[in-house]
Each structure stands twice: as structure tokens, then as C-alpha cells.
Amino acid sequence: MKTIVISNRKGGSAKTTTAVNLASGLAEHGSVLLLDFDTQGHASIGVGCDLDEGLGVHSIFSGKTLCETFIPTVHKNLTLSPALAFFDVYEYFDLSGVLKNRFKMESIAEFFDYCVIDTPPTFDALLKNSLDVADSVVIPFVPHHLGVIAVGQMLRALYQSATQNGRKVADVYILPVMYNPHIVEHRESINKVKKSFGEAKLLSPIGVDINLAKQFESGLPIVLDSKRSKGSNDYSRCVSELLERFQEVDKCQVK
């Protein structure tokens, strides 16, 4: 199983939009588990599910198993562990390593080809639990000055978390979102990211498309919508690019 964490501490940078469409796009290629770690629960809404106020992915922090939180979604290959809307991370003293432990105890990797985790825009125990199990981290960012800074901050958090836990740093993919090629600031910001963090980490940008906002109303991720649009084409390409990159990483590991 490959675990892909979608993260950026900057709010509103299309983490959830990306999580929902990557998870659904990957479901066309294998079995996928989507963990909605953000208590806003927008990823759950995005795959056609209601927010659960009784049981959700956050229930693992109060002794539940991960498996008992699973529910079906709009896609037969996509299983969701929804957000628990009223979970308060600050009510708990130590939440470290809980998700990693659940993965191991429940042999989650045997049941799914991919796990996609949507994370909140904070550097808290939820994000740390996610980074603990990450093989890859996708950082969506809006190509503005602060967006570029946020990518750097996210990378530092990632390296810090890996060092503290003595684990290999996850593969990083940086995804420009809400991109408009006619805006100079957007083009310049992408060039800054290339120069500062390396072109190899960059994925092709996702353009602005209002259908990406509207998909949450229907609960049908845009990559699964038969009506093609700029947003669905962009995210379908993103899924293909990621699959290619995963293959390259796997080849290098075999060597």
C-alpha cells in the first residue's frame, strides 16, 4: 500500500479538493482508503458521505479500530473513514503514533493499494500522525508569494518530523493549484518553487475551474464526472503523473 498525505499548513490551498480527486482517480486503478483527518469533514462531503457525529477516523484516538469506521462512497473501490466533526485534538495529552499503530495492528496495507489522507491546515497531532505513515506527501499550493513560503514551511515540517521519528523522508510532490497562466505572479511563483525546491518535485498545475468548487454540492468528485471539464482533465492528468512517479520510485527501490 502506498500512503499519500495531502498537506499544507496554509488554509484554502485545495488540499481537500486534491485529496478527493486523487483518491477517486486512484480508485480507477486499485482499491483506495480515504482518511478524512480534518474535522471540517469536507473530504467526506466530497465523496458523497454525510459527516458522522458518532464514529469516524478520529475515534482511533479513543480506542476504536480503524476498520470499524469504514463506510462506502460514490466509487466501489473507494472506502472512506469519515471525519468526526466534534473531535478536539487539544483534549488529549499524547496522540503520537496512534495511526501508525492502527495500520500495523489491523494490517491495513493488505487490504488497500493506496491510502490518501486529507489533513487540517495546522501542525498538530493529526498532521504528525499522518506524516508518520506517509510514503508520499503532495503539497498543493496557490502560486503566490505566501504560497511559496508555505511550501518551504511544509517541507521543513516534513523533514523535522522524519528526523524526530528516525524515518526516511517521504517523497514530495508539489502541486500548483488555481493556476492561471495569464497571471505573471503565478508563473513567477512556480519558477521560484522550481528553483528553490527542484523541478523534479513539481507536478503539472491545476487550473481554476468553478466545477471544482461545485463538485462538493453533488458529492461527485470531478474526476468521476462523465462531463469532462478543465478541472477533471487536470486532476486526471495529475493522477497519471503521480502513478508514473510512483513507478519510477518503485524501480529505484528495487535497484
User: Are the C-beta atoms of 35 and 69 separated by less than 8 Å?
Assistant: no
Question: Measured from the CB atom, is 56 or 121 closer to ligand ATP?
Answer: 121
Footprint on residues 123-152 left by ligand ATP (CB under 6 A): none
CB of 16 to ligand ATP, least distance (A): 3
Q: By CB under 6 A, is residue 41 in contact with ligand ATP?
A: no
Residues that bind Mg ion (CB under 5 A): 15-16
The stretch near ligand ATP (CB under 6 A) out of 65-73, 167-175, 190-198, 207-215 is: 207-215
The stretch near ligand ATP (CB under 6 A) out of 36-44, 70-78, 131-139, 165-173 is: 36-44
Q: Which does 52 bind (CB under 5 to 8 A by kind): ligand ATP, Mg ion, none?
A: none
What are 179-185's contacts with CB under 8 Å, separation 24+? Answer: 179/143, 179/205, 179/206, 179/207, 179/208, 180/207, 180/208, 181/207, 185/143, 185/144, 185/145
Q: By CB under 6 A, is residue 75 in contact with ligand ATP?
A: no
Q: By CB under 6 A, is residue 200 in contact with ligand ATP?
A: no
Residue from 38, 52, 132, 171 in contact with ligand ATP (CB under 6 A):
38
CB of 243 to ligand ATP, least distance (A): 21
The residue sitting closest to Mg ion, measured at its beta carbon, is 16
Q: Which does 17 bind (CB under 5 to 8 A by kind): Mg ion, ligand ATP, none?
A: ligand ATP
The stretch near ligand ATP (CB under 6 A) out of 11-19, 51-59, 83-91, 148-156 is: 11-19
The stretch near ligand ATP (CB under 6 A) out of 6-14, 64-72, 147-155, 242-250 is: 6-14
Rounded to a whole number of angstroms, the CA Rg of the chain reads: 17
Q: By CB under 6 A, is residue 73 in contact with ligand ATP?
A: no
Query: Whole-angstrom Cα distance, residue 208 to residue 12?
Result: 14
* Overall residue count recorded for the chain in this entry: 255
Q: By CB under 6 A, is residue 89 in contact with ligand ATP?
A: no
Q: By CB under 6 A, is residue 121 in contact with ligand ATP?
A: yes
Residue from 51, 67, 95, 208 in contact with ligand ATP (CB under 6 A):
208
Q: What are phi and psi of 48, to 5 degrees?
A: 80, 20
Beta strand 114-118 with 2-6: parallel, antiparallel or unpaired? parallel
Query: Under 8 Å CB-to-CB from 236, ≥6 apart: which residues?
Result: 25, 223
Q: Summarize as ranges the residues that interact with ligand ATP (CB under 6 A).
A: 11-17, 38, 40, 42, 121, 177-178, 206, 208-210, 212-213, 231
